[in-house]
A = this chain, B = another copy of it.
Amino acid sequence: MEIYKKPIGWLRGEGDFASVVVSTRVRLARNLSNYPFITSVTPQQAKEIDNYLVDKVSKLQLNMPFTVYRLHEMDDVDRRVLFERHLISSEHLNSKLNRSVAITENERVSIMINEEDHIRLQSLESSFNPKVAFEATNCIDDILSEVVSYAYDSKYGYVTCCPTNIGTGLRVSVMMHLPAIVYTKQIEKVIQSLTRVSYTIRGFYGEGTSPLGNFFQVSNQTTLGRSEQDIIEELVKVIPEIVRFETTWREKLSKDQGKNLENTIWRAYGVLKSARSITSEEALELLSAIRLGVNMKLIESVPLQVVNELFIMVQPGHLQKIYGQQMKEGTRDITRADLIREKLNKF
């Protein structure tokens, strides 16, 4: 599997609010009408669903065709690479059922088969771009709906495995980099405010993952009783508010504690350019500081895309693919440091 070598389009660091919003992900949850939910299927049924949907998806007439990866036939490292690139979820990664993912060449659109729902259609865009991301999924959804029979209830809408997805089955997640909010210890306040208006805020790899490198995924919680447009319109109001909050605090930090902040950022840069061994956790923390430095124009030589991509490249799966071997943790720490030095010392 060669996908680990490719630059990641949605991490290119361009577009609306790119200094705070890394990417926008839209996903639709769909299920087939003639099979039980994933929580109730037998392994044999899962196999049937997987084969059936892979066949249908492969035959879709699209400008950009899908490449299908049969996860149950792949080794752990390859599966992890897809997960690290946000092409499959943690649940999809760890499932024991037959399951697949179909991905377009540019990785903008992917379809997870046999995740929590039979079908999870997702689109990823750089920076804040919910409308374009929604259009991409919506378009595939329309085409797919002509060849498969979705479970749909005329009163509730799309029927999903988990009640929180019933209705549109639409979730929009925005990956935000909030170092100033974290640094000034206001993240709990932001989480509470978002929860009150029915948003959830999660870690770098979604549900149940921790907020590595000060990255947070903000997404709508409810899908029932609201149209796709309502959900997106509301997001277009809420996200820029968080962006403004983060930006204001970055400016305030820069004004009040400029020297301290500069010191933290440049030290992170120095360590990353020199270390011979680094854990994933520390790397993400220091990369977070560098990302802030690039966005505050302190570090001018390193492109935002390089920093954004490093967050993915330093993960265990990518590291093992790049260096072409299975590695234990200690060895990974050394190759991680090698990779970061190599990337940063180009600038």
Contacts and interface: CB of A to CB of B under 8 A. Distances in A.
A150 interface: no
A121 B276 CA distance: 47
Contacts of A322: none
Interface string A260-275: 1011001101111111
Contacts of A267: 271, 274-276
A334 interface: yes
Nearest to A276: B263
A322 to B, nearest CB: 19
A272 B337 CA distance: 18
Contacts of A274: 266-267, 269-271, 273
Contacts of A259: 276-277, 334
A233 to B, nearest CB: 44
Main secondary structure of the interface of A (DSSP, over half): helix
A269 to B, nearest CB: 5
A43 to B, nearest CB: 45
A20 B155 CA distance: 82
Contacts of A275: 263, 266-267, 270
Contacts of A273: 270, 274
Interface in A273-332: 273-277
A270 B266 CA distance: 10
A260 B276 CA distance: 8
A269 B271 CA distance: 8
Interface in A246-267: 259-260, 262-263, 266-267
A285 to B, nearest CB: 14
Nearest to A275: B267
Most chain B beta carbons < 10 A, residue from A263, A273, A274: A274
For the complex of A and B, the 4 pairs showing the least CB-CB separation, nearest first, are: A270-B274, A270-B270, A263-B276, A263-B277
12 contacts: A259-B276, A259-B277, A259-B334, A260-B277, A263-B277, A266-B274, A267-B271, A267-B276, A269-B274, A270-B271, A270-B275, A271-B274
